[in-house]
Amino acid sequence: MTTGGDTDAPRLSDAELSDWQSLVSLVLMLPAAIDSQLKSDAGMNGFEYHVLARLADAPQLALPMSDLAAATQSSPSRLSHAVDRLERAGWVERFACTEAGRRTSARLTDAGTGKLHDTVPGHVRQVRRLVVDVLTPQQLAALGEASRQILAASRSARPVPGSDGC
């Protein structure tokens, strides 16, 4: 009783299935391992760390909320909740940006900069232990390239903002 539509519902080959399942397992396991270290050593989760890191990279240590959401692959809502927590901790502050239509921006505070500096070493150690030191340089490069390829395809011609802090 097989349904005939092969082109309508193309199955994965054995090799494709195996590689996909490995990726699924990775995507389930990695965030848990990253979150666990950050939570116990720094009192923040992986997403909050990511937000601080993207702000630290930004021109004035600041980015409009929507640009920060795009940079962290998050919904506006998820980011807003996360910035609530980071602001409560004193690591980030919101301010009204008078350029480009009076939008809201988030800026890394001095306390946030300090906290990030304290947090980076342990996080980097965990990233090395879990990923970087476990692969050959070629494997890591291939992993990065495949990731960028997938991300680029999913963005499908949607431009990344690239603005500065305000």
Is 54 near DNA (CB under 7 A)? Answer: no
Applying CB under 8 A, among 96, 153, 157, 160 the residue interacting with its own copies is: 153
How far is 102 from 97, CA to CA, in rounded Å? 5
Helix, strand, coil abundance in the chain, percent, nearest 5: 65, 10, 30
Task: Tell the residue number behind the tokens 């998050």, with chain if given.
Answer: 74
Is 76 near its own copies (CB under 8 A)? Answer: no
Is 5 near DNA (CB under 7 A)? Answer: no
Q: Considering CB distances under 5 to 8 angstroms, the limit depending on partner class, which of its own copies, DNA, none binds residue 65?
A: DNA
Is 45 near DNA (CB under 7 A)? Answer: yes
Is 64 near DNA (CB under 7 A)? Answer: yes
Cβ 83 vs Cβ 65: under 8 Å: yes
Q: Considering CB distances under 5 to 8 angstroms, the limit depending on partner class, which of DNA, its own copies, none binds residue 45?
A: DNA
Is 74 near its own copies (CB under 8 A)? Answer: yes
C-beta of 44: minimal distance to DNA in Å?
8
Q: Which DSSP symbol is given to 93?
A: E
| C-alpha pair distances (Å), 14 with each of 21, 26, 71, 150 | 11, 18, 35, 21
Amino acid letter at 12? L
User: For residue 62, which phi and psi values (nearest 5 degrees)?
Assistant: -145, 150
Residues in touch with DNA (CB under 7 A): 32, 35-36, 39, 45, 47, 64-67, 69, 74-85, 94, 97, 101-105
